[in-house]
Amino acid sequence: MNNDSKGTGILKILHLGEYGFSVLVVGVATALSFAMFPFFELTNLVMIYLLGVLIVAVRGHRTSAALASILSVLAFDFCFVPLRFKFSVTDVQYVWTFIIMLIVAMIISHLTIRLRSEAEAARQGQKKTAMMHAFTQHLASTRGLEKVLHASVRHIGEVFNSAVTAFMPNQEGHLIPRASFGSPIKINEKEIGVAQWVYDRWQSAGLGTQSLPGEGALYVPIQGSEGTLGVLRVEPKTEANLADPEKKLLLDSFTHQIGLVLEVDRLEENAKKAEMEAEKEYLRSSLLSTVSHDFRTPLAAILGSTGALLKKEEVRKNPFMQELLDNIQTEAKRLSRLVQNLLEATRLESGVHIQKELFPLEEIIGNALDRLKELGERQVIVEIPENLPAIPMDGSLMEQVFINLLENAFRYTTLDHLIKVDAKDENGAILVTISNQGTVLKEEELERIFDKFYRDPSSPGAGLGLAICRAIVHTHGGKIWAEKKEGWGATFHFTLPLDKNDGF
């Protein structure tokens, strides 16, 4: 015999017991009425039967209460109403007595059962609230994914007398069991497949649902504010443990609370990581700023000293010494530009306020090329339309953008390669393009090259130049990007809005 057959048989026995109790109460009421019959009016005997109906109704079964009401009317008619011990009635007024007695009995039973149901509902609600409060209090003092999951499956397993397993996604997005209660974590591929289905579709499945009802367990998604965080698998010892809709609602409340706690835990973890990153960034910026300022004085002394030595007559007559001093001066200037980049990086991160003025683009590009002469000769073509308007910009910052982009082009090209700079007015902004025929950019580098401290391993730079370019361009309200272009090694584009409403 299966569990359903056993359950049906038990229900039948319970119902028969309630009917028997109804018959017994009516029999007792009849016996009391026989004892009271010589001394009391018939209307007083009716009260005895109504009391019996009330006693039956208090047990909360409508059918047994209705049976007690009907039997009470029949017993009263048969035993006490003339003609006695017959169901015939000589006086019509007793018919109305029977009707009113039956109506009153039914009303009493209905109100009593309703009151009992409401009291039971209130008790269940209080019990549910107490369970939720205990669960919430328990989770409130728990932090960390593993601890939250283990505490949750244990509490749910004890409340529902079930084996509970919590599934969470790994880095690839595939569900794996992370915590279990009531049984060891031995989950087969089929169960993982059902859990993945629930995770992907954000809906329950399995036991007692319309989705995969043949499963022996109930799978419930753990919902977060932005989607499903995981899945709970609840396998009850008996199906009755989850058959009650109220219990399923309680389970849904538990999973919702787990989702909230996991969200809070994740937010706290992210906040800690963000705080640590901010602290690291602050320390790094402070170090860069301090070191950069300390470098400027000795660099200025080196450049001044080498410049003075190069003017000496004895140096000009000694090619070997002149070559050494030229090399010192060139490297010192390169180091000076690196220090300038470090200073610009820290200045931009501190929220510098740019001072815009109208500048012709040719002037900015010319200044940048003049400062890069010591890097050697290159074939640079500048194509700027004659009617190109002056651009509102911070001249020194934009000059630094061109220096960084052109130095990058110089570094990856030789005299045989071509470097091209052009600009055009496009949709209310100036589009500037700098291309070179040097080293070809890789596809995965197109976005990363603008990240701070990202650089090619063979590059002598610190990985700050392009990051500074992006920060300056963004500060001006433009955007910058790189692309692979047919016939060119690397191509950089950036835009500068003309700011028609900015007072220019």
Fold match, 147-243 / 353-497: no
* Amino acid at residue number 214: G
Neighbouring residues of 476: CB distance < 8 A, sequence distance ≥ 6? 354, 356, 393, 394, 397, 398, 496, 497
The two three-digit tokens of residue 89, written as one number:
């009635």
Q: Which two tokens stand for residue 16?
A: 């028969």
Six token digits for residue 454: 């990202």
Can you name the CATH fold of 265-347? Helix Hairpins (1.10.287)
> Which residue's entry shows tokens 């390669």?
417
Domain boundaries, the chain: 15-134, 147-243, 265-347, 353-497
The answer to whether 447 and 373 have CB atoms below 8 angstroms apart is: no
Rounded to 5 degrees, what are φ and ψ at 255? Answer: -65, -35
DSSP sequence for 164-189: EEEEEE-TTS-EEEEEEESS-S---H
The DSSP call for residue 389 is P
**Contact of 487 with 437, CB cutoff 8 Å:** yes
Are the beta carbons of 30 and 79 closer than 8 angstroms? yes
pTM exceeds 0.95 for this model: no
CATH 3.30.450.40, domain 147-243, yes or no: yes
Supply φ then ψ for residue 493, to 5 degrees.
Answer: -120, 145
Tell me the pLDDT of the chain (504 aa) as tens digits. 444 454 444 445 555 677 788 888 888 888 898 888 888 887 788 888 888 888 877 776 777 778 777 888 888 878 887 777 777 666 666 677 667 777 776 777 777 778 777 777 667 666 666 666 666 666 666 677 778 888 888 878 877 788 888 888 887 778 888 888 876 556 778 888 888 888 888 888 888 788 877 777 888 888 877 778 888 888 888 776 676 777 777 778 878 878 888 887 778 777 888 888 777 767 666 666 666 666 777 877 888 888 888 888 887 788 888 888 888 887 787 777 777 766 666 666 655 667 889 999 999 999 988 888 877 778 889 999 988 999 999 888 899 899 889 988 888 887 788 899 999 998 889 999 999 887 777 777 777 888 877 766 556 556 677 888 888 898 888 999 988 887 787 899 999 998 755 545
Which one, of 164, 148, 167, 147, lies nearest residue 156 by Cα?
164
C-beta of residue 227 within 8 angstroms of C-beta of residue 105 = no
| Half-sphere exposure at residue 385, Cβ-oriented, CA atoms within 13 angstroms | 11
> Whole-angstrom Cα distance, residue 437 to residue 418?
6
- Which CATH number, 3.30.1370.60, 3.40.50.620, 3.90.1720.10, 3.30.565.10, labels domain 353-497? 3.30.565.10
